[in-house]
Amino acid sequence: MVNLLITGGLGFLGQQAARRFLRRGAALWSPVDRCLKPLSQLTLFDAGGIPDDLPAEITQDERVQVKIGDITAEGVPAELVDEPDMAVLHLASMVSGDSELNPDRAWEVNVLAQRALLDALAASAPGARFLFTSSTATFGSLPPHAPPDYAAGDGTKQLPGNTYGFCKVVCELMVNDYARRGAVDGRGLRLPVVVVRPGAPPPLATARRHTAGALAGPIL
């Protein structure tokens, strides 16, 4: 059976992903046997505390373990992916407003931590599935005179307009290279918006403040 790690696992997307995996009796790709196998253990890793309203279907499932820590701390990535049959959903990230205010920390969290996680995964579970979340911020602003149906894709030139977008461009290229070398089976998903967690929003996050407020309350 396969262990699944979700970093940023106690956030909005992490919780929803965890619930889906647990509900459907997920089958995950095994880098050892190179076939689909049942989920054995789901680890939710996060830098924040455990939410009081964490759903019972997560807290009461014996396959779930929650770990709190700093993904940039030395040795932590290796501790998180220390099994040969692993898969990773990497959601942990420092969002745009915070990244603008502290670009050095953004580089540590968004780029260096991902590299450490990839290195650890490649060492313990070569060829394991690694799915991470990027962002449409990698493209920056819409080009001048863009038509209403304009759509960016993998062939679109990436011109990020902030530190967060820049970090995500680097992360995309990094995963591409690890996948090219066969170290991991890497995939990326560009999200158009991030729903921040409840609490005081960071500066420069007015739009996210309204989004989070609109989505406040039970989800799914």
Q: Give CA–CA dist 93/113, Å, rounded.
A: 9
Record the tokens describing residue 142, joined without a space. 């819409």
Tallying the residues shown for the chain, one arrives at 220
Residue that the structure tokens 């990094």 belong to: 174
Q: Quick check: is 150 catalytic?
A: no
What are the DSSP calls for the chain, one per residue?
-EEEEEETTTSHHHHHHHHHHHHHT-EEEETTTTEEEEEEEEEEEESSPPPTT--HHHHT-TTEEEEE--TTSTTHHHHHS-SSSEEEEE-----HHHHHH-HHHHIIIIIIHHHHHHHHHHHHSTTEEEEEEEEGGGG-SPPTT--TT----TTSPP---SHHHHHHHHHHHHHHHHHHTTSEEEEEEEES---PPSSPPPTT-HHHHHHHHHT-S---
Record the tokens describing residue 61, joined without a space. 């499932």
Virtual CA dihedral for 99, 102, 105, 110, nearest 10 degrees?
10
Residue of 45, 107, 164, 166 marked active site: 164
Residues designated as active site: 164
